[in-house]
Amino acid sequence: MDNAKPDQIERQVPDGADGRPVLIELTGVTKAYRTSAGLEVRALDGVNLSVRDGEFAVVLGPSGSGKTTLLNITGALDVPTGGRVVVAGHDITRASRGSLFEIRRRTVSFIFQSFNLFPALTARENVQFGIDAAGRTGATAHDVLESVGLGDRMDQFPHQLSGGEQQRVAIARALATGNPLLLADEPTGELDFHTGVRILELLQRQCTEGRAVLVVTHNREIARTADRVIELSGGRVVSDGPPAGGKVDVNELYW
């Protein structure tokens, strides 16, 4: 599995109990840092987490609770100091650097708080970059931008777009890769509440067969619109299930 060729990657995903493939499987994952004073800080402390194909999961926790560490480890951008991480069927804790690169390229796409669009490229060119980076054929930037509601903004540059529109372009660029895992680190953090909820709604709609979405936020209100909330505190999962008080329709939230 370590030396998997790119075209073998999708076929190795194991089935979960309900038959849906498990895209993320974290078992006893720990990430420890040692401070200059010699103290050990555990950014993650024994995290177990399983996310299946078609799932939309929100990771909720205050600043410093380990959210970014969890997302980076899940996306094979970082390695844990303990435990096991299996992403789309690949044990990334045992993979070589070379195969990690391929696993990342073929399985995950990131969306960031600060959008990270290329300023000199139009919306269409930014999305085309995602298609090219993943080596995907058959997809068009035009179609993907239409699917996120930006059909009429394709030839604008990032600075000509609102924050919400820029984040839609970033989502389109992530979708354009065709990768099965969408990881978003505080994607609503720079947006006003109303726009943030709309972005969360758009991300939620992307959970179709063959894709799972993991969104990190510190915003408890926004997390109320999710189906599943995984709450982190001090590097540990303290709850995992529907939002406390039940899922709220985005149109019922006050702002």
Give the interface with ligand ADP as residue ranges (CB under 6 A): 33, 41, 43, 61, 63-69
- Residue 149: which of Mg ion, ligand ADP, none does it interact with, CB under 5 to 8 A by kind? none
For the bound state, the minimum distance from the C-beta of residue 232 to ligand ADP, rounded and expressed in Å, comes to 7
Exposed (0-12), middle (13-18) or buried (19+): which is 77, by Cβ within 10 Å?
middle
- Residue 66: which of Mg ion, ligand ADP, none does it interact with, CB under 5 to 8 A by kind? ligand ADP
Choose between 49 and 176: whose C-beta lies nearer to ligand ADP. Answer: 49
For the bound state, the minimum distance from the C-beta of residue 53 to Mg ion, rounded and expressed in Å, comes to 26
For the bound state, the minimum distance from the C-beta of residue 234 to ligand ADP, rounded and expressed in Å, comes to 9
Choose between 64 and 210: whose C-beta lies nearer to Mg ion. Answer: 64
Radius of gyration of the chain (CA): 18
Choose between 113 and 195: whose C-beta lies nearer to ligand ADP. Answer: 113
* Sheet arrangement for strand 181-185: 108-112, 181-185, 212-217, 56-60, 228-233, 236-241
- Residue 41: which of ligand ADP, Mg ion, none does it interact with, CB under 5 to 8 A by kind? ligand ADP
For the bound state, the minimum distance from the C-beta of residue 179 to ligand ADP, rounded and expressed in Å, comes to 22
- Residue 101: which of ligand ADP, Mg ion, none does it interact with, CB under 5 to 8 A by kind? none
What is the token pair recorded at 77?
Answer: 């951008």
Exposed (0-12), middle (13-18) or buried (19+): which is 50, by Cβ within 10 Å?
middle
Total of chain residues touching Mg ion, rule CB under 5 A: 2
Other C-beta atoms lying within 10 Å of the C-beta of residue 252: 8
- Residue 64: which of ligand ADP, Mg ion, none does it interact with, CB under 5 to 8 A by kind? ligand ADP
Give CA 25 to chain center in angstroms: 14
Considering only the stretches 23-31, 34-42, 50-58, 59-67, report the one whose residues sit in contact with Mg ion under the rule CB under 5 A. 59-67
Mapped onto helix, strand or coil, the DSSP state of residue 136 is coil
DSSP structure class, residue 247? -
**By CB under 5 A, is residue 68 in contact with Mg ion?**
yes
Mapped onto helix, strand or coil, the DSSP state of residue 179 is coil
Exposed (0-12), middle (13-18) or buried (19+): which is 254, by Cβ within 10 Å?
exposed
- Residue 251: which of Mg ion, ligand ADP, none does it interact with, CB under 5 to 8 A by kind? none
In this chain, which residue has its C-beta nearest to Mg ion?
68
**By CB under 5 A, is residue 99 in contact with Mg ion?**
no
Choose between 65 and 93: whose C-beta lies nearer to ligand ADP. Answer: 65
Q: At what angle do helices 163-176 and 193-205 cross, to 10 degrees?
A: 20
**Chain contacts with Mg ion (rule: CB under 5 A):** 67-68
